[in-house]
A = this chain, B = another copy of it.
Amino acid sequence: MPRRQDATSAVSAGRFSVACSDCGQRGEGASFRQCRDCRGGTAISYASMRPIALTGHARMWDFAGRLPVGDAANIVSLGEGGTPLLGSSADRNAALYFKNEGQNPTGSQKDRAMSVAVSVAKERRVSQIVVASTGSVGVSCAAYSAHAGIRCLIMVPAGTPVERLQPMMALGARVVEIDGTFEQIEAILASLDSRRWYQASTIMGMNCFQGEGPKTIAYEIAGQLGRVPDWVVVPIGGGGTLHGIWRGFVELVDLGSTAHVPRMVGVQARALNLLERLDLSRVPTADEVHAKAPDERTESVCRNLRHAVPPDWRGAVRAVRESGGLFCSVTDEQALDWQLRLGREEGIFCEPSSAVVGQAVADLRSRGIIEREQSVVAVITGSGFREVGILGAMNPRRCTATVGEAELERLLRAVQ
């Protein structure tokens, strides 16, 4: 038998159980949304307590023993994970690395979550998947559903750029644009019968399984760097990715693979910087959080960070508090500026929602919070190719076909 990269024949899947960490209710069986009220509280535990083997060449399903799929034959993989950890070209301290999640199958870190979510759907013999998305989750869910042969229905808020919807449709998904906000779509989904409608949401309270995917980012960073960095900086959309990466580092420590957990930084868009404005000296209540929330219609060029209240704020707050990290925020202007800086200086073309990590690292170093010699891994969550429309104002120089060496020289000089 050929060895297939999609890993279905190469890995041994682990035994695991699901429970609500708050009320103790077991979540196995048809439904796993019982604890919707204590979002973020659902926990998956694994039978194996062996240390996780760290290497520089792992892909996500090499860690199948720490992912919630019972039978390896049900793994739905498009080759997610194994993304490069790039040493910064521009950083003089040689202590800054970029984990480029834009090289995942559909161009974002969400492919890890969706690979798990759709594998679980296949294991449960689900015939249709439904998901809410402003972009990344939708296209990822469409791709994995197609690969698994499962129907996919994606609900997007009105106003999502059509360049983000067309790839979903090209991947065979049914896309429905809803005249309402992301929050209103969430309310629709919460009202559906969860036994009939499998929801591949990346919100922990809607689907706890997918939340295990981002853990593998932590495993890979530790393997590629050969140690745990001092800081890990992550853009905050819903908050689930930051939370998941942190849990991955916690697992590594718990299993004896590494010695400590890095300090986690969550980066928000300035106009939506709810988490930065919280008092983190204690755990905030839901009322406090909602009282500080910005208007749901607040816009930002960082499309993937556009949540008035990040649905997984509990997990994100926990990760930041327990790791001794912090939240910060970046303006739209800075995000656009850093999109071009990361392109020009590092050769990484990312979306503005990811470029925020560049400004965040610069700010935190300037403020003396990240010290000069400390190592930092900044997670580039998504590729810039998925929203080229944002570059609309750029236009090339134009020349005639008689251009010669002198003219090329002038052009190079003119743009330096």
A10 to B224, CA, bound (A): 11
Is A24 part of the contact surface with B, judged by Cβ < 8 Å?
no
A175 to B395, CA, bound (A): 9
**Residues A398 and B6 in contact, CB atoms below 8 Å apart:** no
Of all A-B residue pairs in the complex, the 10 with the closest CB atoms, nearest first, are A79-B84, A180-B401, A172-B344, A147-B347, A146-B347, A166-B391, A175-B396, A143-B347, A5-B85, A385-B385
**How many Å from the CB of A154 to the closest CB on chain B?**
9
Q: Can you name the residue of chain B whose Cβ is closest to the Cβ of A149?
A: B89
**Residues A105 and B105 in contact, CB atoms below 8 Å apart:** no
Contact A176-B391, Cβ < 8 Å, known A79-B100, A84-B5 = no
Cβ proximity bits A369-405 to B, threshold 8 Å, 1 near / 0 not:
0000001000000011110110110111111110111
**How many Å from the CB of A309 to the closest CB on chain B?**
18
Is A233 part of the contact surface with B, judged by Cβ < 8 Å?
no
Is A340 part of the contact surface with B, judged by Cβ < 8 Å?
yes
Is A286 part of the contact surface with B, judged by Cβ < 8 Å?
no
The 8 Å CB contact of A391, one of B169, B196, B396, is: B169
The 8 Å CB contact of A404, one of B146, B185, B188, is: B188
**Residues B6 and A56 in contact, CB atoms below 8 Å apart:** no
What B residues does A41 contact at CB under 8 A?
none
**Residues A397 and B176 in contact, CB atoms below 8 Å apart:** yes
Is A128 part of the contact surface with B, judged by Cβ < 8 Å?
yes
Each complex incorporates copies of this chain amounting to: 2
A225 to B394, CA, bound (A): 43
Is A104 part of the contact surface with B, judged by Cβ < 8 Å?
yes
What B residues does A398 contact at CB under 8 A?
158, 176-179
**Residues A225 and B343 in contact, CB atoms below 8 Å apart:** no
**Residues B56 and A130 in contact, CB atoms below 8 Å apart:** no
**Residues A78 and B89 in contact, CB atoms below 8 Å apart:** no
A185 to B401, CA, bound (A): 7
Contact A147-B89, Cβ < 8 Å, known A167-B391, A169-B391 = yes
The 8 Å CB contact of A3, one of B178, B225, B391, B416, is: B225
A148 to B86, CA, bound (A): 12
A10 to B192, CA, bound (A): 52
**How many Å from the CB of A9 to the closest CB on chain B?**
9
